Every structure is written in C-alpha cells, then in structure tokens.
Amino acid sequence: IILCKSLMAKGEKEEKILNNGLASLMALEIIESINYAFNKELKGFISDTAFREVSLELADGTIPGIVVLTGLAKADSLAEELIKEIQEANLLCLTSGLIINQIEKIGVKFGLEEKIIPLGSEFTSIIHAINLIVRTPLMFGGVKPGDKEAVIAYIKERVPAFAVILGKLDNKSLAVAIGLTALGIPVIIDQLELKDLPMLTTQLNYEKIIETGCNAKKIELKKLVKPLIPIEYGTIYEGEKIRKPDVFVEFGGGKTPAFEIVKIKSTNEVEDGLIKVDGLEIQDMKEGECYPLGIIVELAGSKLEETLEPVLERRIHKFLNQGKGIMHLGSRDEIWIRISKEAAQKNLKIKHLGEILHFMFRSSFPRLIEKTQVIILTRSSFPRLIEKTQVIILTNPIAVEEKLNEARKIYKERDSKIKELTEESVDCFYGCTLCQSFAPTHVCVITPQRISLCGATSWLDASISYRLDPSGPNFPINKGNCIDPVKGEWSGVNEAVKMKSHNSTTKVYLHSIFGYPHTSCGCFQAIAFYIPEVDGIGIVDRSFRELAVNGMSFPAMAGFCSGGKQVEGFLGIGIEYIKSRKFLKADGGLNRIVWIPKALKEKVKDAIPNELYDKIATENEAKNLEELKFFLKKVNHPALRKL
C-alpha cells in the first residue's frame, strides 16, 4: 500500500498517469489476494509450472502470443467472431470478467487444449494475467524481483502480449488499461470516446481487433495452410481428446495391431502425390469397433538420408493431430488413433489421412522432400511402394501383421544406429537459441549424448531443423578440440556459446553440475541439484508438485537457475539426458543420484542399474534431508562412500 501511494505521488503529467496505472494494478492484486483468503473456489492464478508447460510453444512461435481479454462484447455474435479470430491465430487467450459468460453462451470450450483460459468472472480476475506477464522476466529473463525498470523493459521487448478491453471503460477499467500500457502491454478498446487518449488504441471493427493488437506488439501470424479435407484443420486442434462416447471408430491402442513408419526411398521409386487406400474405408467400418492399421509414408529427395527417418516419422503424430476429430497418440508400433463421430459424419475418409500427410510433409519440408506418396491399405495385398511422398495405410489384419513385422526390424536397425552415435563419432554438435526470445543469453548445446533442455530437440532433430532453415534457431557447432573428455569441454563449444550468448558465457562443461555448468533457460523438463549435506545430486521434474528433498519446489529452483545463467550446483536438463551414458559423467553419473521423484524414477528405470535402483530415494523414503541421510546410510548408497 505504501508503494502504491509512493507511485501515485511521482512524475510529470504523463509519467504520473502511468504511475497511477501501476499503482492501480498493485491495488488490484491486493484486493484479489484478500478475495482468495475468503473464497477457496477462486482458481484464476496461473502457476509457474503451468506456464512452463506452454513456454516452449511461445518460444518456438507455435503460440505466437498472448491476448488478455476482458470486458463485454457489444453482441454475442461479435464475441464469437473475436474468439474465432483468436483461435485461428493460435494465440493463448487469458479471459476475465463478463466476456467469460458470453464465451460460454456461444459454446466455446475453455481449457489449455483450446488455449482459452478463464481466470474468473470478477473484474479483479484480470490481475492474474498481468501477474503472469510480470513474472515472465523473473522466470525466464534472469531479472531480479523489484527491478522495476528491467521488468518493464523485458515485457516491452520480449513478451508477445497485448490486451483487449471491450465495452465502456469506467474509472476502474481505465486505470487498469493505463497500468497495462505502463508495463509495455498495448491495449485495444472498442470505444470511440477515448480515441484521443494516446495510450490506448481504438478499433471498432471486431474483425480487425486481433490484427491491431498483433501489429501493436509486432506479433507475426503465420499464414495458415490447410490440406483439402472435409474437417477443420490447424494447430488449435492439436491435443484434442476424443472421449469414448464420441468415438466412431479407432485403431490400435493395444486392442489391435497398429503402426506407422517413414521410409526414405530413391526418387524413381516414389510417385509424387500418390495416395492409395487398399481395404476398408471409414464409412465401411462398424461404429464403436477397433480395427488394425498400418501407415507407411515414403519420401524421396536428393538431400534426404535414412538417419532422418525417425525425425520425420514423429511428424506423423503432429500432422494427424491437427485435424479436428482425429486423435493420435504414441509412435512406431504403439499408436492409437480415434476418429470422432462428428468427423465421420463430415465424410472423413482413410484417404484424407493420406491427404493430410502428403500435404503437410511437402509444405513443411520443401527443401528436403521432392516427392511424397501415400498408400493406405486395408486389404491383404500390398503394392510396391513408390518414392517422393507416398503413404500406405493398412487396415486389413493380414497386411498389417505382415508389414508390422517388417517395420519392427527397421525400428531395431535404426535404434542400433542411433545408439552408435556419440560425441566423438559425429562431425559437429548443434546449438539452439530458440529460447532467447525469453532468455536472451541462453544457448543450448545439443549432442548425440545430450538432448536439449526442453527435451524436444535431439541431435538428429537439430540436424534436420538446420537443413530446413539455416537462418533458424538451430545451427552447427564446430566441436574444435576436446579440452576435457570427462567434463565435456570442447574449444568449439566455448567459442560458439561465447558468440551466441553475447559474451555472457565463455566456458561450458556439458557433463558437470560444477564449475562451468551448461546454462539453463526456463523450458527445461527437470533440474539436477547438488545436496552438500550428503554430497549427492537430486533430480526434480516439472510435474512434481511437492517440495523436493532440499525443501525447495521446482518453480523455486527454476527461478533460481533459469534465465540463461550458469549457477553452480543447479542444472536444467531434458529427461532423456538422464539415460545418456555421459549423464553428469564428471560428477559420478547415476551413482551420484540420491533422490528423484517416484514417477520420474519409474520413467527412467531402464537406464538405472539394477543394483542402484532401490538405493535412490524418492518422496516416499525421504521428504527432508534428515530422512535422506538415514535412508542412504541404511541402503549403503555409493555416494556416501566419499564421506
């Protein structure tokens, strides 16, 4: 309250108005905090953990920006039009106030999957969106709490967010609008009487409100390209869940054999654009039944190599999932696909799955793929596949079983080749600066034995990304000389990181938590942390909601070590890195791990030696350091032998 008053007393005319706006936001947060104390049903606050779930999509542009939406549209039809614009732009929409009731009326679903998050129908609920935006520089930018100028500068330059306030602005909403402007968040209104207030932007045409907001914050919207299919298509539908009552037909899911595979062929083997369905179509299938399925995509291009097959294969999941009414889970021979009743009613066919794959492979990888062929089989006969881009989809049990066995042999061969890739055997590593939109000094170094911190980019992924877009976030790193093979220090890595981090980081150990550890951004899946009391290392992942054994939560540790900083004793990591033979090699590797959440321990079970597995504590055995010490002594953990 004292700070609010001090802000209100400062500045010349314009500065004073802006400071009054900031004071209003502080007052709003105080009011909402009091509301929380008396109403346990309020759920508008967005945790660091929840925001980190979508932070990678914001960093890579999948979600181009955030729109804070409040007020009341002039008509329900206009609210519907506005929401459609937001969804087509794939913006993350944080809604509050009366607009929530309008959105409910028009039948739009809320939730993270739909990217429309309701914060509360009260006017004060908007503060949760503002609170999140203000926390962004603290979470990802390494900005210290209380540094007002640095927080505002970061929001202005790096946070792709704008606000839309609909309806007449009373004194309260006007104060909030000015506060948003003071933070560097453009505000779009639909009222003419405030057109002379230079801090706010008036846009009366609802069809142009989102475009106006994006232009004000320089948010680039990608032109949406869609395959010719009878259902809606776009990233907004990615992750859509189709519940059992809504399923027309499904494939795989452990009930029937189902698989998918991508093969690289020579150009004379692929008939570009060929989509062949051999067997039953969706309309010939019985509602509620589960059928076998085989999807074979054959691609041809002079720059394509067999090593890229698994990377391209994973795109099948993304491409099919963007169809409204198609749910795709899993990969390889463990896929599960559901087709909704609504999609079937719109005459979606097996052939259209092929249309999606052909169109998306060709449009997504124009520099690599010259021909695409899709063949979808549902009978036992299986024609010779043709190259370029070719998709074969099987639903006949005999054909699926035959080709499934062939696919499994290929999976096995691929895995053995990938396992042979080491830091010593490849010509170069790759770097990624995708997260520099949020953490400007962070540079991710990706090797065959060290996945990206976010867990989304392997060495092969980075390789194909660079070939597709040499000016993009991924770039090759000349390894140079190996200075320390145990710690993982390379002269070329040091040089690349120094340049790309703007001289912020000059030396990096790829496989140590001590000395010069790899920097951490904010999108990491887990954190490895040193526990000096037992001279061991713990790991906590983003999904763990309790306090780690050191008494800190994941968000607390993330805030401490993120933002592109080198923090000795704390290291953001991708979960797959735990399975690497070089995992923290300089620090003792898995033998140094003393605590890990039970669910994560189970996830990486195959990587942990049998004799060590039961010696690593989880939250069930140790919730604090005293319990950890007792447990480690009891099981004679190898880390204790140093003490």
Would you say 346 and 323 are in contact if contact means Cβ atoms under 8 Å apart? no
Domains of the chain and any CATH numbers: 2-216 (3.40.50.2030), 235-417 (3.30.1650.10), 428-642 (3.40.1470.10)
pLDDT interval class at 42 (50, 70, 90):
confident
- C-alpha to C-alpha distances, 226 to 58, 320, 337, 441, nearest whole angstrom: 22, 12, 20, 36
Q: Mean pLDDT over residues 21-41, rounded?
A: 86
**389 CB-near residues (< 8 Å, 6+ apart):** 270, 272, 273, 297, 298, 299, 300, 357, 358, 361, 362, 369, 371, 372, 373, 374
Q: What is the pLDDT of residue 2?
A: 61
Of 36, 57, 196, whose CA–CA distance to 122 is shortest?
A: 36
Name the percent of the chain in helix, strand, coil, to the closest 5.
40, 20, 40
Name the residue among 170, 152, 169 with its Cα closest to residue 161.
152
Question: Has residue 480 got a pLDDT over 90?
Answer: yes
What is the H or E stretch that residue 189 is in? strand 187-189
Pairing between β-strand 474-478 and β-strand 326-329 as defined by DSSP bridges: unpaired
Is the pTM above the cut of 0.75?
Answer: no
* pLDDT tens digits, one per residue of 601-642: 999 999 999 999 999 999 999 999 999 999 999 999 998 865
Q: What is the pLDDT of residue 279?
A: 79
First to last CA, the chain: 51
Region of residue 384 (phi > 0: left; psi between -120 and 50: alpha; otherwise: beta): beta
Q: What pLDDT digit, counting tens, does each position of 264-316 carry?
A: 999 888 888 889 887 789 999 999 999 999 999 999 988 888 878 888 888 89
DSSP 484-519: ETTTTEEHHHHHHHHHHTTTS----BTT-SSSSBPP
Most confident of 52-56, 237-241, 437-441, 449-453: 449-453
The predicted structure's pLDDT at residue 642? 59
Q: Which residue has the tokens 């041809």?
A: 300
CA dihedral 371, 465, 434, 63 (to 10 degrees): 20
Is the predicted pLDDT of residue 467 greater than 90, yes or no? no
